Amino acid sequence: MKKVGVAILGLGVVGGGTYKILTGHRDFYRKSYGVDISVEAVLELRKERALALGIEEGKIATNIEEICSNPEVDIVVEVMGGVEPAKSFALAAISAGKSVVTSNKELVCKFGHELESAAKHNHVGLFYEASCVGGVPIIRALLDNLQGNKVISLMGIINGTTNYILTRMTQDGISYSEALKEAQKLGYAEANPSSDVEGFDATYKLSILSSLCFHTKIPYTDIYREGITQISPCDVQYGKRIGYAIKLLAIGKNTEKGVEVRVHPAFVKLGHPLASVNDSFNAVYLTGDSVGEVMLYGRGAGELPTGSAIVGDVIYCATHSQHRYSPFENTEKAKPSTKFIKNFESAYYIRLSAEDKAGELSKVTSVLSRNGISVAQVVQEQDGIRGEDGKVPLIVVTHETYEDSVRRAVEAINKNGGSTTVATVIRVVS
């Protein structure tokens, strides 16, 4: 029977989960796939972590050279996170002729082109299913099963921490900071939550996914990004009353005009498949020109769900003799012919703080109309929170319009004399 040795770099939550799956299912993989996959080494400076998992002392390495020179190791699983030393360790493993499986979205997003070029040069595999949306098998779906399609768009809830926070704000009516504290207590959010709540994590994942969808590198620096820290509980509740759920969306579109990539909070119409993706669950909703709409839903993080994605890559690598790489030239920048659309189209929820008197609404609608913005819905929140200045919340939902038109209109309304001003703007997806 074919024997394949694995080394795991880092025995944190995901590394530990990977170890448990690989060892717990070893016999099942032997019988099912005819391959004997064994964990031959781990790189972990906190020896007690390895011992707690039952790993023999002789298999605990303390430096990358021990892993690279170990002839029993064929596949190196990098689950350390961050760029360094993960990048140097992955490149060292590749140079030593080992295939690499990684869960590291920041590394793949920023340096995937460099790792892939080294992997091609050394005729080894590079796998990164676990880097995006944890246990949800979206990368393999894009590389294999959906190959027959031109992907027109993808829209995803690809960060579980922010989805948990926004779900709590929606269902329990609590503030952003209360929901964040709860997420931290449950271990969803880190002590420094900025990568999740400011949208960086989702931006890295969208960079990887949209590159695969649109067959050109989409650098994360070309992605528009806005986090969830400014979302107020009153907007969440007003949105809910008029039929929307608030989500942090990652959106990629490939149109004749160009590529549009953005991460920001959005109101999603109840009834849209993404509106009911709650708590820490993730989902990716894709439209392909042949398949139509597809949605993949599941756990985007965690010991066993992310371990599941890693082990899937390990088995794929162990059972395929030929390695395949990105179906496009994987470079640092997008193809020179790629045009990024910054002035994208969307519908908008605009909450105004309005004086409750005749003529205020008409002032607002005339500014909107001068900017070519058509109104779809207007709601005055009678029982909304009246400000100390006696102003009332007035909500306008627009039809699809341009981002720049909305920015111009907001500026004009706020300059109008101050009786009615814009408090919040949130994009809307129907």
Q: Give me the active site residues, please.
A: 205
Instruction: Report CA dihedral (165, 166, 170, 175) to the nearest 10 degrees.
Output: 60
Burial call 321-350: b when 16+ CB within 10 Å, e when fewer:
eebeebeeebeeebeeebeebeebebbbbb
- Angle between helices 303-319 and 26-33 in degrees, nearest 10: 40
* Binding region for ligand HSE (CB under 6 A) out of 83-91, 155-163, 214-222, 337-345: 155-163
Q: How far is the CB of 251 from ligand HSE (least distance, A)?
A: 17
Q: Is 203 in the site for ligand HSE (CB under 6 A)?
A: no
- Residue reference for tokens 């880190």: 190
Residues 74, 78, 129, 196: which binds ligand HSE (CB under 6 A)? 196
Q: How far is the CB of 22 from ligand HSE (least distance, A)?
A: 20
H-run or E-run covering 208: helix 200-214
Q: Is 301 in the site for ligand HSE (CB under 6 A)?
A: yes
Binders of ligand HSE in range 261-290 (CB under 6 A): none
Q: Is 104 in the site for ligand HSE (CB under 6 A)?
A: no
Q: How far is the CB of 13 from ligand HSE (least distance, A)?
A: 10
User: Other CB atoms closer than 10 Å to residue 62's CB: what's the count?
Assistant: 10
- Determine contact, residues 261/217, Cβ cutoff 8 Å: no
Cα-based angle 332, 337, 343 (whole degrees, multiple of 5): 95
User: Could you check whether the bond before residue 85 is cis, i.e. omega within 30 degrees of 0?
Assistant: yes
Q: How far is the CB of 131 from ligand HSE (least distance, A)?
A: 8
* Binding region for ligand HSE (CB under 6 A) out of 156-164, 234-242, 263-271, 415-423: 156-164
Q: Residue 199 or 300: which CB sits closer to ligand HSE?
A: 300
Q: Is 326 in the site for ligand HSE (CB under 6 A)?
A: no
Q: How far is the CB of 188 from ligand HSE (least distance, A)?
A: 6
* Binding region for ligand HSE (CB under 6 A) out of 24-32, 158-166, 234-242, 409-417: 158-166
Strands 392-398, 421-429: pairing is unpaired
Long-range contact set of residues 321-324: C-beta below 8 Å, sequence gap at least 24: 323/99, 323/119, 323/123, 323/124, 323/125, 323/126, 324/143
Q: Is 300 in the site for ligand HSE (CB under 6 A)?
A: yes
Q: How far is the CB of 87 from ligand HSE (least distance, A)?
A: 18
Q: Is 159 in the site for ligand HSE (CB under 6 A)?
A: yes
* Binding region for ligand HSE (CB under 6 A) out of 52-60, 157-165, 251-259, 408-416: 157-165
Binders of ligand HSE in range 47-66 (CB under 6 A): none
Residues 78, 201, 360, 403: which binds ligand HSE (CB under 6 A)? 201
- Angle between helices 303-319 and 13-24 in degrees, nearest 10: 50
- Determine contact, residues 156/287, Cβ cutoff 8 Å: no
Q: Is 78 in the site for ligand HSE (CB under 6 A)?
A: no
**In 3-state terms, the chain is what percent helix, strand and coil (to 5)?**
40, 25, 35
Say how far apart CA 414 and CA 398 lie, in whole Å.
Answer: 18
Residue ranges in contact with ligand HSE by CB under 6 A? 159-161, 196, 201, 300-301
